Amino acid sequence: MNKQLIISKSIGLVTAIMVGACGLTAFGQTVAYTDAHLMTMGPLGQIENGTLLVRDGKIVDIGKDIQIPGDARVVSLQGKTVMPGIIDPYYVFKKTQSANSQQTFTFRGRVFRRPGATFSVGSFNNVAENFYPYDVDFMPALRSGITTAQLVTDGRGLSAIAQPVPDPTPEMLLADTDGFLFAKVTNQTSALDTIRKNLAGESSSSSRGKSMTRAEMIARMRAARRGRSGTPPPTSEPAKKPEEKKAAPTKQETDPIKLMWKAVREGKKPLVVNANNAATVAHLNKLLEKSQDAKIHLVATGPNLFQSLDEIGNSKNITLVMQPTIDTVPYSSQLMNVPQMAHSKKIPFAISLSLNNSQMISSQDDPLFPIAMLVKSGLPRDTALQALTTRPAKMLGVDKTLGSLEKDKVANFLVFHGDPLETGSRLKQVFLMGKSVYER
């Protein structure tokens, strides 16, 4: 019995070594996925019986009649459909912690501290600085085919872009991609002022109440006296022109948050705004009339967008982020397809599967079922799929490497059994950088 145990352990050890060796060589090996229906979402369109060549986490070649290297491993995907990984433009997670962070709470007058921290809704949260990968479970995202996500908190701050790998690692975050300023606002004046003042370039404190130094007060008083007397102060000789000195940068010019808002005002960076009611959407439209260069990614539900679609359509700087649902017209039982309505008004939009978290969880066996319902209700098929892939990739500034199946792009793709938008289709595999990270 002991001999059998030793033999079985030895076999297990040898098997583990072989698997590890295969994993090491597989990354440098070309893999050819053949006989697949390829939905590239790029210039190549759809390819029947196509081949996808992957090596070192990137797409080496893609097409119908391409040369497969002699040393490539061939995997047949006959009857399967391959499409780019889904990019979620607004993925909210509520908790993070770091090794050095602590959460403080009081019970019966005593103060207790324990490791971990939660994001504060009222404060500015830099997601990348507070991101702790071992406290985030991205399996729900992977089960839904999400391979890239913009991480935000339920408040305001600076977002981060991540790849939801199943094994926690600091490399989850895309280090070469900057995040965006985001804010969840209501129609309360204090909440809207956060957006209004920063879009106008105003200081958070009123200039009237700004304190002055003693020297500034004396100078202002002397200037006022000269104005009342009507005569300039006597001078024995012309004043010498002072040497021009390069002004030291002010705090506002070096404050990273102020610089981010400056980039927003100049249209160099978008601002992500989650509007939680219809009145907020209307107020934001008015604010943007005075900030014509600012670009807004407006996150809102269908009913909250419904009454403002005409005004939004007149703006060239708003991109919508919506959840994939069939809604009802406010105060009625009439059904409406807001993504289809936005498309008819030529309003660009992306779809976030995670915005309706309960729906995302319930439809993980068939993650694109909500998208199929939008298509059956009038939304063009290509527009719906672009709202999951190419559109959010462009919004997040990762369209050069993600969002479509093209040569030299990152090999993030999904394998479906049949057409992804047909009833009964199932997500079979999820690939991140050419590696299978989820399979059912």
Confidence category of residue 211, pLDDT binned at 50, 70, 90: very low
pLDDT band at 280 (very low <50, low <70, confident <90, very high): very high
Question: What integer is the mean pLDDT of 213-242?
Answer: 54
C-alpha distances in Å from residue 163, one per residue of 109, 149, 166, 169, 345: 43, 6, 9, 10, 33
How many other C-beta atoms can be found within 10 angstroms of the C-beta atom of residue 433? 16
CA distances from 183 to 45, 92, 138, 417 (A): 36, 12, 23, 39
pLDDT over threshold 80, residue 386: yes
pLDDT band at residue 288 using 50, 70 and 90 as cut-offs: confident
What are the distances in angstroms from CA 55 to CA 69, 73, 146, 250?
A: 11, 10, 21, 49
Q: CA end-to-end span of the chain, whole Å? A: 36
Between helices 256-265 and 189-200, what is the axis angle to 10°?
Answer: 80
pLDDT above 90 coverage of the chain, percent: 54
* CA nearest to 411, candidates 134, 32, 157: 32
Range of lowest pLDDT (6-20, 143-157, 385-399): 6-20
How far apart, in whole angstroms, are the C-alpha atoms of residue 54 and residue 38? 14
Class of domain 86-202+252-402: alpha beta
Given a contact cutoff of 8 angstroms between Cβ atoms, the answer to whether 339 and 349 are in contact is: yes
**pLDDT the model gives residue 246:** 57
Distance separating alpha carbons of residues 360 and 370, to the nearest angstrom: 9
pLDDT score of 249 more than 80: no
Reported confidence tier of residue 238, pLDDT bands at 50, 70, 90: low
Q: Note the pLDDT of residue 5.
A: 39
pLDDT of residue 14: 36
pLDDT given for residue 106 in this prediction: 55
Q: Where on the phi/psi map is residue 145: left (φ > 0), alpha (ψ -120 to 50), or beta? A: left
Mean model confidence pLDDT for the chain = 82
Position 23 scores a pLDDT of 37
Q: What is the pLDDT of residue 425?
A: 86
Assigned fold of 26-85+404-440? Urease, subunit C; domain 1 (2.30.40)
Encode pLDDT of 35-51 as tens digits: 999 999 999 999 999 99
pLDDT at res. 207: 37
Indicate whether 215 pLDDT > 70: no
Per-residue model confidence as pLDDT tens digits over 72-106: 999 999 999 999 999 999 999 875 444 455 555 45
Which residue, 247, 294, 255, 303, is CA-closest to 276? 303
3-state SS track over the chain: CHHHHHHHHHHHHHHHHHHHHHHHHHHHCCEEEEEEEEECCCCCCEEEEEEEEEECCEEEEEECCCCCCCCCEEEECCCEEEEECEEEEEEECCEECCCCCEEEEEECCEEEEEECEECCCCCEEEHHHHCCHHHCCCHHHHHCCEEEEEEECCCEEECEEECCCCCCCHHHECCCCCCCEEEEECCCHHHHHHHHHHHHCCCCCCCCCCCCCHHHHHHHHHHHHHHHHCCCCCCCCCCCCCCCCCCCCCHHHHCHHHHHHHHHHCCCCCEEEEECCHHHHHHHHHHHHCCCCCCEEEECCHHHHHCCHHHHHHCCCEEEEECCCCEECCCCCCEECHHHHHHHCCCCEEECHHHCHHHHHHCCCCCCHHHHHHHHCCCCHHHHHHCCCHHHHHHHCCCCCCCCCCCCCECCEEEEECCCCCCCCEEEEEEECCEEEEEC
User: What average pLDDT does the segment 270-278 reach?
Assistant: 94
Q: Where are the domains of the chain?
A: 26-85+404-440, 86-202+252-402
Give Cα separations from 247 to 244, 250, 258, 371, 389 (angstroms): 9, 8, 18, 56, 46
